[in-house]
């Protein structure tokens, strides 16, 4: 496990959820090859859906761009090893 080596770049998520996101990323890196970003992201998304309800999104990679709207208090962007992790819950439209 790699806890403590993640660097949060931006977040509005409660600290408990941030810790869980980074722990799940570390766990996923133990379970999957570092180049299997799709499986790593799927693992994190599945766990967040189970813990906090459906609608979570996860992007994992070393070079990506994105533009999205998220629900308040559900966003984290961090780096672990050579990968960047973006986890958020999509905002519902009125």
What CA–CA distances, in Å, run from 36 to 32, 52, 84, 85? Answer: 6, 25, 13, 13
Over the stretch 56-70, which tens digit does the pLDDT of each residue have?
Answer: 999 999 988 888 888
Instruction: Check residue 90 and give its pLDDT.
Output: 86
Instruction: Check residue 51 and give its pLDDT.
Output: 96
pTM of the predicted structure, to 2 decimals: 0.89
Over the stretch 11-50, which tens digit does the pLDDT of each residue have?
Answer: 999 999 999 999 999 999 999 999 999 999 999 999 999 9
Q: In 3D, which of 86, 93, 64, 68 has the Cα closest to residue 13?
A: 86
CATH of domain 7-90: 3.30.740.10
CA 64 from centre of chain = 14
């Amino acid at each position: 496990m790699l806890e403590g080596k993640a660097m949060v770049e931006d977040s509005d998520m409660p600290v408990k959820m941030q810790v869980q996101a980074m722990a799940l990323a570390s766990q996923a890196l133990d379970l999957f090859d570092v180049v299997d970003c799709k499986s790593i992201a799927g693992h994190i998304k599945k766990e967040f859906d189970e813990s906090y309800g459906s609608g979570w999104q996860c992007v994992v990679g070393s070079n990506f761009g994105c533009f999205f709207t998220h629900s308040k208090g559900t966003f984290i962007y961090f780096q672990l090893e050579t990968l960047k992790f973006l986890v958020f819950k999509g905002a519902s439209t009125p």
